[in-house]
Amino acid sequence: MKKAKLIINKDFKIGQIDKRLYGSFIEHLGRAVYGGIYEPTHPTADSEGFRQDVLDLVKELNVPIVRYPGGNFVSGYNWEDGVGPKELRPKKMDLAWSSIEPNYVGTNEFASWAKKANSEVMMAVNLGTRDGDAARNLVEYCNVKEGTYWSDLRISHGIKEPHNIKVWCLGNEMDGPWQMGAKTAYEYGRTACEAAKLMKWTDPSIELVACGSSTYYMSTFAEWESIVLSETYDHVDYLSLHMYFNNHKDYLPDFVAESIDFDKFIKSVVSICDYVKAKKKSNKQINLSFDEWNVWYHSCEQDKSVPRWQVAPPLLEDVYTFEDAILVGCLLINLIKNCERVKIACLAQLVNVIAPIMTENGGDAWRQTIYYPFMHASNYGRGVALIPNIESDKYDGRKYKDVPYLEAIATVNEENDELTIFAVNRCPGEELLLEATLGGFSGYKVTEHISLYGFDPKERNTKDLRKVKPSTLSGSTEVDKELLKSKLPPLSWNVIRMKK
């Protein structure tokens, strides 16, 4: 049996967890919108065409914010195509995904869906083929009450009250050569700066996210962030991060340790933000929006055979495995560990497209394996994150060395006197005996130990077979005063909930 120790103390806090850490993403890509959240002919569709079965699953996830409408899609999107009478909206070629966009769902429809999902909209503007003028017009359309051209146009479209969208992304992955209107760091920095000024002059209450590098592995990384922030620092509030993981080499020990690079990426970007802050001698702090993250690789080969120029083709439909869920759990733990600076994060995406929820057109909707750790973190990981002091047995992989078997974090909801430990046992063959010292938590008792465990690493949930789901463990965890002892099953995601 492997062993690990965790020490937490009620007074040693990382910081308050922003509820937006548990956000997600819907792009006009594949079946995320059409056949995902929107299918007017579906038996559960409401009067606006939104699938109620999907909405129920989204609400179960408790997603506070959803980024929209892209993604690569937004860099060629004219937002005006998606408002007004549907019968007058144009069908357009989406060059990002070689698809046809019918524009049945646009700004107003998505804002309505988000309200039904108990979520807020994180709106992205096109800074690829367009500029600050179109962006500030969209802010006016969405957020100004009345009495101006664009606000009155919204009212003429049947939307009397403004949407009051508060978080806006200044483009998407603008250093990527695959991006429509890709730019150098200086070109993007100047464009984003001027767009930000116009948007905030239109509505000073909004928050803005500048694009960081498309990924940690881009040749532009670090220098891009530095230049972009040097140009935009006074006008933006967040810098974005994107990162996806794969197991192409089919080597479990390294795959479940990928959260090491995830954490390293976050800390590197924090360092760059603080470097620019020091260079500018500023008192303002730039925080992070990790607005795309997930596992993504299962669908890459099958996507090559999908015919071009369809409406809602089946793209990026990863069918996730149990081992994917374990890594997603590790990534969630690291987002919580970095909550002092990561204020927004978006699991990419929400439905069908590299998503926790899958649907069949005209049929059922179901939970993928990664659904469960995200649901647990979103519902139980609110409040304050506590500094984790971890001692654990370790292993060496091919890429990563000295990897602790235990990945863990604790959160406390002081209003409800609730303490939660999220813990992953990376070891596939042995239980992990966890001893946790709970400083300042005398009188807390275990109310529930939820665990996702006991499956083959390649086990999946499909339309016909949905075996991967969490269980409640009885007798595996006990607390005596301020000492917790728990046996974490081999290769498992664990949620240990306690209450005073």
CB 348 within 8 A of CB 25: yes
The answer for residues whose C-beta is within 8 angstroms of residue 204's C-beta and 6 or more apart is: none
Instruction: Report DSSP state, residue 476.
Output: S
pLDDT value for 22: 98
Instruction: Please name the amino acid found at residue 447.
Output: T
156 SS3 class: helix
Residues 427, 360, single domain; the answer is: no
Query: By residue range, what is the domain housing residue 419?
Result: 2-9+386-499
CA 120 from centroid of its chain's CA atoms = 14
- Domain CATH for 400: 2.60.40.1180
Catalytic residue chosen out of the listed positions 120, 140, 173, 317:
173
pLDDT digits (tens, 9 = 90+) for 403-415: 999 999 999 998 8
Query: Quick one: pLDDT at residue 240?
Result: 98
Which residue type is seen at 314? P
Query: Are residues 326 and 391 located together in one domain of the fold?
Result: no
3-state helix, strand and coil shares in percent for the chain, rounded to the nearest 5: 30, 30, 45
Residues 316 and 432 reside in one and the same domain: no
Q: Calculate the alpha carbon distances from 197 to 113, 151, 204 in Å.
A: 29, 19, 9
CB-side neighbour CA atoms (13 Å) of 271: 9
Query: Is 430 noted as a catalytic residue in this protein?
Result: no
Q: How many domains does the chain have?
A: 2
Peptide bond into 179 cis (omega under 30): no
| 66 and 109 belong to one structural domain | yes
Last residue of a domain, one of 364, 382, 400: 382
Q: What is the pLDDT of residue 408?
A: 98
Question: Which residue is it, tokens 């664009």?
Answer: 150
pLDDT of residue 367: 98
Decide which of 382, 406, 422 is a domain's last residue. 382
pLDDT at 268 (0 to 100): 98
- 216: three-class secondary structure by DSSP: coil
Question: In residues, how long is the chain?
Answer: 500
Residue/partner pairs of 357-360 with CB below 8 Å, 24 or more apart: 357/36, 357/54, 357/57, 357/58, 358/317, 358/319, 358/463, 359/31, 359/35, 359/36, 359/39, 359/51, 359/53, 359/54, 360/463
Instruction: Clarify whether residues 413 and 294 are in a common domain.
Output: no
- pLDDT at residue 56, rounded to an integer: 98
- Could you tell me if 349 and 408 lie in one domain? no
Backbone phi and psi for residue 48, each to the nearest 5 degrees, phi listed first:
-95, 0
The reply to whether 173 and 234 lie within a common domain is yes
Shared domain for 377 and 449, answered yes or no, is no
Q: Determine whether 292 is an active site residue.
A: yes
CATH number, domain of 88, equals: 3.20.20.80
The interaxial angle of helices 371-380 and 322-337, nearest 10 deg, is 30
Q: What is the pLDDT of residues 348-367, one digit of tens each?
A: 999 999 999 999 999 999 99
User: Tokens 């049947």 identify what position?
Assistant: 158
CA atoms of 491 and 255, how far apart (whole Å) = 12
Tell me which of 352, 382, 412 is where a domain ends.
382
Q: What is residue 366's predicted lDDT score, i.e. its pLDDT?
A: 98
Angle at 264 between CA 284 and CA 319, to 5 degrees: 115
Query: Which residue out of 109, 292, 418, 431 is catalytically annotated?
Result: 292
Q: Which residues in the chain come in under a pLDDT of 50?
A: none
Are 344 and 476 in the same domain? Answer: no
